[in-house]
Structure 1
Amino acid sequence: MQYFRSMRRSTLLLAALSASLATAAEPPGRRTYANPMDLDYRYNFEQLNEGISYRTGADPVIVRHKDAYYLFQTLADGYWRSTNLLDWRFVTPSRWPSESIVAPAVVSDGDRLVIMQSAFGPRALLQSTDPASGKIDYLTRLLPRIPSAVPPGQDLLPLPAGKTPPGPWDPDIFIDDDGRWYLYWGSSDTYPLYGIEMEKAPRGFTFRGEPKVMLALDPAKHGWERFGPDHRGMNFPNGKPVGNYMEGAWMTKVRGRYYLQYGAPGTEYNAYANGTYVGDNPLGPFEYAPYNPVAYKPGGFVQGAGHGSTFQDKYGNWWNTGTPWIGYNWTFERRIAMFPAAFADDGQMSVSARFGDFPHWMPEGKIADPESLFTGWMLLSYRKKATASSTRGEFAASRVTDENPRTFWVAGSSEPGQTLTVDLGAEKTVRAVQVNYADYQSGRFADAPDIYTAFQLQHSTDGKKWKPLAEVGDGPDRRDRPNAYLQLPEPVRLRYLRYVHGHVGAANLAISDLRVFGNAEGKPPTAPRDVAVKRDQDRRNAVVTWKAVPSAVGYNVRWGLRADRLNLSYQVFADKGTTLELRALNVDQSYVMAVEAFNETGVSGLSAARQAE
Structure 2
Amino acid sequence: MFSKKYIHSTLVWLLFLNSLIISAQNSNDKLTYCNPVNLNYRFCLDEPSRREAADPVIVNFKGEYFLFASKSGGYWYSSNLVDWNFVTTPDLPIEDYAPAAVVINDEIYFTASTNGDKVPVIYKSAKPKTGRWEVVNSNFPIQNVDPDLFLDDDGRLYLYYGCSNIEPLYAVELDRTTFMPIGEPVACMNADIENNGWERPGDYNERSERPWTEGAWMTKFNGKYYLQYSTPGTEFRSYADGMYVADNPLGPFKLSEYNPFSYRPSGFATGAGHSATFQDNYGNYWHISSTTISVKHKFERRLSLFPVFFNEDGYAYTYTGFGDYPISIPQRKIENEEDYLSGWMLLSYNKKVTASSSLPEYGVEKSVDENIRTYWSAKDGKKGQWLQVDLEDVYTVNAVQLNFAEHTTTILGRDPGIYYQYMLEYSTDGKTWQVLADKTKNKEDAPHDYIVVQNPVKARYVRVKNYHTPSGTFAMSGFRVFGNGSGAKPAAVTTITAERQTDNNCSVKLNWEKIENTTGYNIRYGTAPDKLFLNYQVYGDNHIQINSLSKKQNYYFVVDSFNENGITKGSTISEIK
Q: Any residues of structure 2 matched to 1:556-595 within 5 Å, and which?
A: 556-574=522-540, 577-595=541-559
Q: Deviation digits for residues 106-153 of structure 1, max 9, x if unmatched?
A: 11113111111100253221211101121122122222x13xxxxxxx
Q: Please state if 1:89 is matched with 2:56.
A: no
Q: Please state if 1:190 is matched with 2:166.
A: yes
Cα offset, 1:400, TM superposition: 0.6
Task: Compare 179-188 and 445-454 and name the one that shifted more.
Answer: 445-454
Q: Deviation digits for residues 356-412 of structure 1, max 9, x if unmatched?
A: 000111101111113321112111000111111122333222211111111112122
Q: Deviation digits for residues 235-284 of structure 1, max 9, x if unmatched?
A: xxxxxx75311110000001111001001111112111111100111100
Match of 2:457 in 1: 492
Determine if contact 1:170/1:185 at 8 Å carries over to the other structure.
yes
Q: Which amino acid aligns with 2:159?
A: L
Instruction: For residue 54 of structure 1, give the secondary structure of its aligned residue in structure 2.
Output: coil
Cα offset, 1:413, TM superposition: 2.2
Q: 2:466 aligns with which of 496, 501, 522?
A: 501
Determine if contact 1:290/1:586 at 8 Å carries over to the other structure.
no
Cα offset, 1:445, TM superposition: 2.5
Instruction: For residue 44 of structure 1, give the secondary structure of its aligned residue in structure 2.
Output: coil
Q: Any residues of structure 2 matched to 1:270-281 within 5 Å, and which?
A: 270-281=237-248
Q: Any residues of structure 2 matched to 1:166-315 within 5 Å, and which?
A: 167-201=143-177, 204-233=178-207, 242-315=209-282
Q: Distance in 2 between matches of 1:360 and 1:200?
A: 38
Q: Distance in 1 between matches of 2:109 and 2:92?
A: 13
Q: Deviation digits for residues 195-248 of structure 1, max 9, x if unmatched?
A: 0011134xx321111110000111100111100121111xxxxxxx75311110
Cα offset, 1:331, TM superposition: 1.5
Determine if contact 1:66/1:110 at 8 Å carries over to the other structure.
no
Q: Any residues of structure 2 matched to 1:479-558 within 5 Å, and which?
A: 479-537=444-502, 538-558=504-524
Instruction: For residue 399 of structure 1, give the secondary structure of its aligned residue in structure 2.
Output: helix
Q: TM-score, normalised by structure 2?
A: 0.93
Structure 1 vs Structure 2 CA RMSD: 1.8
Q: Distance in 1 between matches of 2:552 and 2:21?
A: 50
Q: Distance in 2 between matches of 1:11 and 1:595?
A: 39
After superposing on structure 2, the runs of 4+ consecutive aligned residues of structure 1 that deviate more than 4 Å are 10-15
Q: Which amino acid aligns with 2:490?
A: P
1:61 to 1:224, Cα distance in 2 relative to 1, 3 A: same
Q: Distance in 2 between matches of 1:176 and 1:368?
A: 25
1:11 to 1:392, Cα distance in 2 relative to 1, 3 A: farther
Determine if contact 1:227/1:244 at 8 Å carries over to the other structure.
yes
Q: Which amino acid aligns with 1:222?
A: N
Q: Please state if 1:119 is matched with 2:86.
A: no
Match of 1:62 in 2: 58
Q: Distance in 1 between matches of 2:467 and 2:22?
A: 30
Q: Distance in 1 between matches of 2:546 and 2:406?
A: 32
Match of 1:130 in 2: 127
Unaligned runs of 5+ in 1: 1-9, 19-26, 147-166, 234-240
Q: Please state if 1:53 is matched with 2:42.
A: no
Q: Which amino acid aligns with 1:399?
A: K
Q: Which amino acid aligns with 1:433?
A: V
Q: TM-score, normalised by structure 1?
A: 0.88
Determine if contact 2:146/2:216 at 8 Å carries over to the other structure.
yes
Determine if contact 2:107/2:125 at 8 Å carries over to the other structure.
yes
Q: 2:570 aligns with which of 603, 606, 609?
A: 606
Q: 1:461 aligns with which of 401, 419, 428?
A: 428
Match of 1:110 in 2: 105
Q: Distance in 2 between matches of 1:117 and 1:541?
A: 37
Q: Distance in 2 between matches of 1:526 and 1:140?
A: 61
Q: Distance in 2 between matches of 1:262 and 1:474?
A: 43
Match of 2:4 in 1: none
Unaligned runs of 5+ in 2: 1-18
Q: Which amino acid aligns with 2:493?
A: P
Determine if contact 2:263/2:534 at 8 Å carries over to the other structure.
yes
Q: 2:439 aligns with which of 454, 472, 497?
A: 472
Instruction: For residue 258 of structure 1, give the secondary structure of its aligned residue in structure 2.
Output: strand
Q: How many pairs align?
A: 556
Task: Compare 79-88 and 387-396 and name the one that shifted more.
Answer: 387-396
Cα offset, 1:472, TM superposition: 2.9
Q: Which amino acid aligns with 2:396?
A: T
Q: Distance in 2 between matches of 1:307 and 1:353?
A: 15
Instruction: For residue 176 of structure 2, give the secondary structure of its aligned residue in structure 1.
Output: strand
Determine if contact 2:426/2:461 at 8 Å carries over to the other structure.
yes
Q: Which amino acid aligns with 2:523?
A: V
Q: Which amino acid aligns with 2:542?
A: T
Instruction: For residue 484 of structure 1, give the secondary structure of its aligned residue in structure 2.
Output: strand
Instruction: For residue 502 of structure 1, give the secondary structure of its aligned residue in structure 2.
Output: strand
Q: Which amino acid aligns with 1:419?
A: W
Determine if contact 2:161/2:169 at 8 Å carries over to the other structure.
yes
Q: Please state if 1:357 is matched with 2:335.
A: no
Q: Which amino acid aligns with 1:33?
A: Y
Q: Distance in 2 between matches of 1:228 and 1:605?
A: 30
Instruction: For residue 43 of structure 1, give the secondary structure of its aligned residue in structure 2.
Output: coil
Instruction: For residue 82 of structure 2, give the secondary structure of its aligned residue in structure 1.
Output: coil
Determine if contact 1:480/1:505 at 8 Å carries over to the other structure.
no
Q: Which amino acid aligns with 2:530?
A: D
Instruction: For residue 580 of structure 1, give the secondary structure of its aligned residue in structure 2.
Output: strand
1:62 to 1:304, Cα distance in 2 relative to 1, 3 A: same
Q: Deviation digits for residues 9-66 of structure 1, max 9, x if unmatched?
A: x996696499xxxxxxxx9x71111100011111104xx4xx2121121111111111
Q: Which amino acid aligns with 1:462?
A: D
Between 1 and 2, higher relative CO (CA 8 Å, sep ≥ 6) is seen in 1
Determine if contact 1:458/1:466 at 8 Å carries over to the other structure.
yes
Determine if contact 1:248/1:263 at 8 Å carries over to the other structure.
yes
Determine if contact 1:317/1:366 at 8 Å carries over to the other structure.
yes
Q: Which amino acid aligns with 2:318?
A: V
Instruction: For residue 70 of structure 1, give the secondary structure of its aligned residue in structure 2.
Output: strand
1:424 to 1:493, Cα distance in 2 relative to 1, 3 A: same
- Determine what percentage of the aligned residue pairs are the same residue: 40
Q: Distance in 1 between matches of 2:92 and 2:21?
A: 45
Q: Please state if 1:376 is matched with 2:348.
A: no
Match of 2:16 in 1: none
1:87 to 1:12, Cα distance in 2 relative to 1, 3 A: farther
Match of 1:43 in 2: 43
Q: Distance in 1 between matches of 2:187 and 2:411?
A: 42
Q: Distance in 2 between matches of 1:546 and 1:139?
A: 58
Instruction: For residue 275 of structure 2, give the secondary structure of its aligned residue in structure 1.
Output: coil
1:14 to 1:65, Cα distance in 2 relative to 1, 3 A: farther
Determine if contact 2:492/2:560 at 8 Å carries over to the other structure.
yes
Cα offset, 1:300, TM superposition: 0.5
Match of 1:161 in 2: none
Q: 1:323 aligns with which of 290, 307, 313?
A: 290
Determine if contact 1:31/1:361 at 8 Å carries over to the other structure.
yes
Determine if contact 2:26/2:456 at 8 Å carries over to the other structure.
no
1:185 to 1:38, Cα distance in 2 relative to 1, 3 A: same
Q: Which amino acid aligns with 1:593?
A: F
Match of 1:237 in 2: none
Q: 1:79 aligns with which of 71, 75, 82?
A: 75
Q: Which amino acid aligns with 1:529?
A: T
1:12 to 1:199, Cα distance in 2 relative to 1, 3 A: farther
Cα offset, 1:104, TM superposition: 0.6
1:213 to 1:14, Cα distance in 2 relative to 1, 3 A: farther
1:436 to 1:115, Cα distance in 2 relative to 1, 3 A: same
Q: Distance in 2 between matches of 1:267 and 1:317?
A: 27
